[in-house]
Amino acid sequence: MSLSFLHHVNWLYSISGLAVGLLVGFTGVGGGSLMTPLLVLLFGVHPSTAVGTDLLYAGLTKVSGSAVHSLHGAVDWKIVRRLASGSAPAAALTLLGLSYFGKGSATTQHVISTTLGFALLLTAITLLSRKWLIARYGKMMERASDGKIAGLTVGLGAVLGVLVTISSVGAGALGVTVLIILYPKLPAVRIVGSDIAHAVPLTLIAGAGHWWMGSVDFAMLFSLLIGSIPGIAVGSHYASRVPDRVLRPLMAGTLALVGGRLAF
C-alpha cells in the first residue's frame, strides 16, 4: 500500500467503522443497521451514497464469513436458492426504479431515508420480540407443507431484496428471525450461515447497481474497512462477556430512535 493512498483516508470514518464493527461483533446486528444511519445523520452523506457504499462494504466483508460457514457445512443451499430467487429479481427491479428517478433527486433521497427509517424500526421491534415471535409462529410452521414454506421463503427473499437495495438494512435481524420461524427444526447455526450466504449475492448485486448509478464512494469505503475489520474481530472475541439482556434492549432503543427520525 503506497503512502500516497493513505492521504485519501478519512480517519473519522475509520473511527466510526471501528465503533460499528465493535457493536456488530458484540450483538450480531448487521452493519447496515448502524453504519448507514451514522453516515447520513452524523456525517451528512447523501443517503444514496451511504447505502451504495455500505452495500459493497457488506458484500465484501461477508464473503469470508460465508466461505467459513460453507466449509463447516453450516449453509443450507436450498434455502439460499429460495431466498435468492426472490431477492435477485426484486433487487434488479428496485435498482431500475431508483435509476429512473436518479441518485441525486429529491424523490430518491426521500424514498431511501423513509425506507431506511422504517427498516430500522422493524429491526428494533424484531430484536425486542424475537423470542415471542418464534414461540408464537414457529409451531404453526411445523405443520405447513414444504410448498408453502418454499413460497414464503421466496416471498421473504423478495422483501429483503427491496429493503436491502433501498436501505442496506434487513438481511440480518429480520431475515434470521423469519427463517427461524419458517424452519424451526433447522439448527440455528445453519440458519445464520444460510442468511450470510444469501446476503453475499444480494448485497453485491445491489451494491453493483448503486456503483453503476454512481452511488459508491470508494475512498469512504476503504476508510470504513480500516476501522471496522479489526472492530468486528475484537467485538466478536469479547461478545460472550457482554450481557445480552442489557445490550439488546439498548441497541433496539437506539435503532428505534434513529429510525423514527429518518422515517418521520
Give per-residue pLDDT as tens, 56-90.
888 877 777 788 778 888 889 999 999 999 999 99
DSSP 213: T
Residue 7 lies in a domain: no
What pLDDT shows up at residue 1?
A: 44
- As for how many domains the chain has, the answer is 1
Mean pLDDT of 16-37: 77
Q: What is the mean pLDDT of the chain?
A: 84
Q: pLDDT digit string (tens) for 61-70?
A: 777 778 877 8
Which grid cell is 41? 445523520
Taken as a whole, the chain contains a residue count of 264
Q: Quick check: 3 pLDDT over 70?
A: no
- The whole-angstrom separation of Cα 153 and Cα 260 is 28
Domain that holds residue 60: 36-215
Query: Taking the mean position of all CA atoms in its chain, how far away is CA 90?
Result: 16
The answer to whether residue 173 sits within a structural domain is: yes
In a domain, 176, yes or no: yes
Whether 154 has a pLDDT exceeding 60, the answer reads yes
In a domain, 100, yes or no: yes
CB 207 within 8 A of CB 55: yes
C-beta separation of 28 from 244 below 8 A: no
Q: Is residue 264 part of a domain?
A: no
For residue 51, being part of any structural domain is answered with yes
